[in-house]
Amino acid sequence: SAVISQKPSRDICQRGTSLTIQCQVDSQVTMMFWYRQQPGQSLTLIATANQGSEATYESGFVIDKFPISRPNLTFSTLTVSNMSPEDSSIYLCSVEGAGGRHNEQFFGPGTRLTVL
């Protein structure tokens, strides 16, 4: 499996501000995803980060609120814009296709975000 890192690992932010989370993989991967996991709940897919094109967002998530970049096959960013306390959550990136393991997703360590 791939080695996936996320920055920052945690942050405490004021409402109305924005935070950009970085996801770096140590090898090229076909797919990168961004998930949110709220306390005590399962994972919800925010969007699929597409290399060289706009991300594909799931129902309930919009580009203005969660802009995503994927400039190459090993890196992606998720920005949480104009934050409110309801955005407090763990944000996880995942990758698919690492090491030829098609279909299998591996997760980064996550970013714990608290919005005051």
Partner 1 sequence: QKEVEQNSGPLSVPEGAIASLNCTYSDRVSQSFFWYRQYSGKSPELIMSIYSNGDKEDGRFTAQLNKASQYVSLLIRDSQPSDSATYLCAPEAYSGGYQKVTFGTGTKLQVIP
Asked if 109 and 76 touch (Cβ cutoff 8 Å), the reply is: no
Could you say whether residue 104 binds partner 1 (CB under 8 A)? Answer: yes
Among positions 47, 80, 108, 115, the unique one binding partner 1 when judged by CB under 8 A: 108
Count other C-beta atoms under 10 Å from residue 16's C-beta: 10
| CB closer to partner 1 out of 67 and 110 | 110
Query: Candidates 17-25, 40-48, 60-68, 70-78 — which segment interacts with partner 1 by CB under 8 A?
Result: 40-48
What is the DSSP code string of 19-79?
EEEEEEESS--SEEEEEEE-TT--EEEEEEEPTTS--EEPTT--TTTS-EEEEETTEEEEE
- Per CB under 8 A, the list member of 20, 56, 82, 114 interacting with partner 1 is 56
Residues contributing to the site for partner 1 (CB under 8 A): 1, 31, 41-45, 48, 56, 92, 96, 103-110
